[in-house]
Structure 1
Amino acid sequence: MTGANLENCSVSDPISFDDFMKVDVRVGRIVEAEVFPEARKPAYKMRIDFGPDIGIRKTSAQITTHYTPDTLVGKLVMAVVNFPPRQIGPVMSEVLTLGVPDADGNVVLLTPDRDVPIGGRLF
């Protein structure tokens, strides 16, 4: 997960399917990405389009190792869209963009391997 260092965690306690269904993970397309100079660690500010039902949401992510703003724009990503907004410096983050660590602990974004409609929910 971007914004959290979870790669060394053990398997979490079991949850019910109903608990899982409470987490709303959707596919969105990054429409803007720029350097976030006010962040404590290198990061980007992004705007992600989740389609007409959800709209465009803002977020930030520490993903500067593998991505540049130019390579991010147009990319499909997976994000949690129903967490409450969180203030990160001057940015109000409205979604949590999902990723996994590479061998060095740097974030690799979770992305669909095919072009899919934005706004689609993970199931």
Structure 2
Amino acid sequence: MRALKAEIGMIGLGLAIGVGVGFLLGRYVWPVRYVGVAPGDLHPQWQAEYVQMVALAYAQDQDLALARARLALLGDPIEVLRQFSNRPAVSMSPAARSAIAQLLRALQTSSSKPLGGPP
């Protein structure tokens, strides 16, 4: 009986050490790194950060085509901006809120203009 308890104790100790070493290796030595994740796959909080960064980049360089392409990764660019500009729970700096409004206006005016072509 005593030998059985010793075996169970050794197995338990071995499992505890194995789990501990596995945790340390997975957490600190070889952690998971996500690379090349599409913006649509991000958590909604990080999608909001992405939208803010796109809007702030547009405010800086005024490249509407690039901003539209970046927002298209989340869906229809105008709808994406409307969704995030009307969301009060998202904490945004005044500069980001203003940049989103500016980008939304630019996208709406560019989509309302008729595309060039033959008359």
How does the TM-score come out when normalised to structure 1?
0.19
How does the TM-score come out when normalised to structure 2?
0.20
Whichever of the two has the greater Rg, that structure is 2
Between structures 1 and 2, the one with greater strand share: 1
